[in-house]
Amino acid sequence: MTANPTAAILVIGNEILSGRTQDTNSNALARFLAPLGVALKEIRVVGDEEGEIIAAVNALRARYTYLFTTGGIGPTHDDITADAIAKAFGVGIDLHPEAFAALAARYAERGEAFNPMRQRMARIPLGASLIRNPVSIAPGFQLENVFVMAGVPSVMKAMLEDVAPRLRRGAVVGAVAVEAAVAEGDIAEGLALLQQEHPKVAIGSYPYYRPEGYGVQLVARGTDANELETVALGLNALLAKAGGTPKRL
């Protein structure tokens, strides 16, 4: 069976690293990719530094099937993602006629000046195809296996509609979750053995602390529904043996 395509996310922006802005795009992208059978393997954050962006882009696009970047394609001086992508690929960058015309029409409609800084949003690396932006018009773009999208969450999410048809699908990863009020340490050994018996299923253990007490939630993820159900039964048995009452979520 062909392996599922893989992906990485590169979040770009000083505002993320400073804590001023919370990254919600990574979560949205992860939820977008999972039903398509695209395995998200890495999320990386870099600031608005050209060298750091170039290095990260080249490393991640070589390692994974797809790379998605968010942030840094607006009109201001610190929006340097497009230039960094062009340099990462060793290509030029110029005003894209279609993007320029769409932006010019948008600002004319609003009665606002289409000044040189706003025109920056029409600068696209040579050879890239546009990613449609139905919210604010300024496009993202795709260059080979790299998808460059906006940092504003509502705009980034809107761009995904144009991205989806371009992706190769993989086997959908299913998940089962079960929890019980038992100590994680009491099931750790049995959990390790169950994982060894089912190497193609990823099993995670997540302790919780609630007002009514503590416990653990176990999650199994895999592409084979039958094996996943077998693992779920094993998790139930493990929790019951430790004195808990398993609850399927």
DSSP 4: P
Average pLDDT over every residue of 86-91: 99
Q: Please check whether residue 1 lies inside any domain of the structure.
A: no
Whichever domain contains 213, its CATH number is 3.30.70.2860
Whichever domain contains 73, its CATH number is 3.40.980.10
Could you read off the pLDDT of 59-88 as tens digits, one per residue? 999 999 999 999 999 999 999 999 999 999
Q: Give the domain-ending residue among 111, 145, 166.
A: 166
Average pLDDT over every residue of 168-178: 94
Q: Please check whether residue 64 lies inside any domain of the structure.
A: yes
Domain that holds residue 188: 174-248
* E strands, 5-65, in order: 6-12, 39-46
Is the per-residue pLDDT at 127 higher than 90? Answer: yes
Residues 72 and 97 in one domain: yes
Residues 99 and 162 in one domain: yes
* pLDDT computed for residue 157 by the predictor: 98
Residues 158 and 216 in one domain: no
Amino acid at site 57: V
Is the per-residue pLDDT at 169 higher than 70? Answer: yes
Residues 114 and 149 in one domain: yes
Question: Is 191 exposed, middle or buried, given 0-12, 13-18 or 19+ CB atoms closer than 10 A?
Answer: buried
Q: What is the pTM of this model?
A: 0.91
* pLDDT computed for residue 1 by the predictor: 52
Residues 63 and 117 in one domain: yes
Amino acid at site 52: E
* pLDDT computed for residue 166 by the predictor: 98
Residues 109 and 194 in one domain: no
Paired sense of beta strands 213-222 and 202-210, if any: antiparallel
Q: Please check whether residue 51 lies inside any domain of the structure.
A: yes
User: Residues of the chain with pLDDT > 90: what percent?
Assistant: 98
Is the per-residue pLDDT at 45 higher than 60? Answer: yes
Q: Give the domain-ending residue among 112, 139, 166.
A: 166
How many domains would you assign to the chain?
2
Residues 154 and 202 in one domain: no
